[in-house]
Amino acid sequence: MEINLSAIPEDQREAVAALLRERGELKDETASLKSETAGLREIIKRLEHLVAEFNHLIHGKRSEKLSEDERQLAFEDLEAAVAEANEQKEAQAPSDPRPRGAAKRNRGNLPRDLPRIERVIEPDSLQCPCGCGQMHKIGEDRTERLDIVPAQLRVIVTVRPKYACRACTDGVRQASAPAALIEGGLPTEGAIAHVLVGKYADHLPLYRQSQILARSGIDIHRSTLADWVGVAAFNLGPVVDRLAEHLKTSTKLFMDETTAPVLDPGRGRTKTGFLWALARDDRAWSGDDPPGVVYFYAPGRGGENAETFLAGFDGILQVDGYTGYNRLARPSRKGGEPIRMAYCWAHARRKLKEVFDRDGSEIAAEGLRRIAEFYKIETDIRGMVPELRLSARQARTAPLVAAFGEWLQEQRLRISAKSRLGEKLAYIHRHWDGLQTFLHDGRVEIDSNCVENLMRPIALNRKNALFAGHDEGGKAWGRIASLIETAKINGVEPFAYLKATLEAIAAGHPQGRIEELLPWNFNPSS
């Protein structure tokens, strides 16, 4: 409704005009708030959808079908989407002089040894507003933010002056050239270590590393980088051999295998090689020996390869249900006494989970519920000494396992052995003795998940590199991955370790003291 100001007494016109202006401003503000509210509703709707996606990813029917890496990739994208939606929400929120929430800080996570560059920001003027003179400092606020500088390339120039006597001709004196892993070559040991970590820890094939270097103006062909890797793999061989010897002195180890595609030049395609992981991890029962892993390459999956790699080991071996390991438990085993097998309850559970996911079998669901009870007890006793673990298992777990065994036999009598569920139950029955090993030794784990986790880096490298160039490349892959993964599980930074180890080897580290070069003996301050 329009108002005719001329019809209003002159002494009231200004007040009415002010009210009209205020009304117009309120209408504009109302329209703006409605628009913001609609936008916020859309953001909330999007956040609710993302929360539902999170729940589906974690608890959904397909959640166990995702590998750990696939799950992490999904989390990354979902978390990025949530952060974007929250930022949009804050940007669209009505202006408010009050704080919008706690500052997004990550206190306490920046190591003290990181270089710090201080930037002091002074006020425009230090003169007191009331004219008293110059103000005095009474304190300061300090904030820290993480900055990242891309990898810095540099050239080490070694200058060796020559000296001679002017009074005689007895010769020239010059310092010896410093030792180098590749004599007369381009890279320092640090450069070689960087390439090794890029390829085997960060899963960057050499051709991609070559492209990254090229962006910094360094033209180094992939084949040159491959030469560096080969030289390093050869020189690190004795360290890996000693690592394997050290592991095989243990009384309990884990073993697993995974495919390692290898190029077959004669046929113009890839063939299937295998990397076998031999691992020790006694942290769950506070064992004294440091954790470690060695990856052996073999062109096939036959059990004779496991027999070869385990020569000299006599103890308990924790494995999945692969039949190739059966020969290790026989009296005819080569390389040692028959090995005692401990089978993996996670694999038994997985068999039932496959059936449950496919058809919702109540029998499979009951088996899963029973196995879950075993794992609850394992959670309670993790980190305890073997004696306490064994005591708890005998008192609490053994009766549950015995009941599971009776239930298993009852179901096998009811279910056709040729059915999908019947096959899964038969699998558990075949491995029943080994599935009970953990009940009789507090050092034994309920499953072999530890070594399966150590297979993940191999799978990631396989996914990124597609295949090794030949069988020797598969051996180098296993050798360098052994040192990198052993360093990681001992809390050692792989680059620092490899750089120091390659420098020690180049300087002629004695073979008799090779033990000092094992990853768990690395001291970064030395």
- Determine the Cα–Cα distance for residues 355 and 202; give it in Å rounded to an integer: 36
At 329 the three-state DSSP class reads: helix
pLDDT at 524: 86
Burial of 491 (0-12, 13-18, 19+ CB in 10 A): exposed
Which two three-digit tokens encode residue 405?
């065994």
The gap from C-alpha 232 to its chain's centroid, in whole angstroms, comes to: 24
406/411 Cα distance (integer angstroms): 9
What is the Cα–Cα distance from 517 to 520, expressed in whole angstroms? 8
The amino acid at 394: Q
- The runs of H, that is alpha helices, within 264-361 are 303-309, 345-359
Judge contact between 325 and 341, C-beta under 8 A.
yes
Q: Which of 435, 279, 254 is nearest to 346 (CA)?
A: 435
Distance of CA 441 to the CA centre of its chain: 30
- The SS3 assignment for 67 reads coil
| Upper half-sphere CA count for residue 178 (Cβ side, 13 Å) | 11
Which residues lie below 8 Å from residue 75, measured CB to CB, with a gap of 6+? 57
DSSP states of 148-215: --PPPP--------EEE-SS--S-EEEPPPPP-SSTT-S--HHHHHHHHHHHHTS---HHHHHHHHHH
Q: What value does the CA radius of gyration of the chain take, rounded to a whole number of Å?
A: 33
Ordered by start, the domain boundaries in the chain are: 250-472
pLDDT by residue for the chain (526 residues), tens digit each? 556 656 666 666 677 667 767 777 777 778 777 777 777 777 777 667 666 666 665 665 555 555 555 555 555 555 565 565 665 666 666 555 444 444 444 445 678 888 888 988 888 888 888 888 888 888 888 888 778 777 788 898 989 899 888 888 778 888 988 889 988 888 999 999 999 999 889 888 888 899 999 988 889 888 888 888 888 998 999 999 999 999 999 999 999 998 877 755 555 566 778 889 999 999 999 899 999 999 998 888 888 999 999 999 999 999 998 888 999 999 999 888 999 999 999 999 999 999 999 889 999 999 999 999 999 999 999 999 999 999 999 999 999 999 999 999 999 999 999 999 999 999 999 999 999 999 999 999 999 999 988 888 877 766 554 444 456 677 888 899 999 999 999 999 999 999 999 999 999 999 999 999 999 999 987 6
The residue count of the chain comes to: 526
What is the C-alpha separation between 285 and 283, in angstroms, rounded? 5
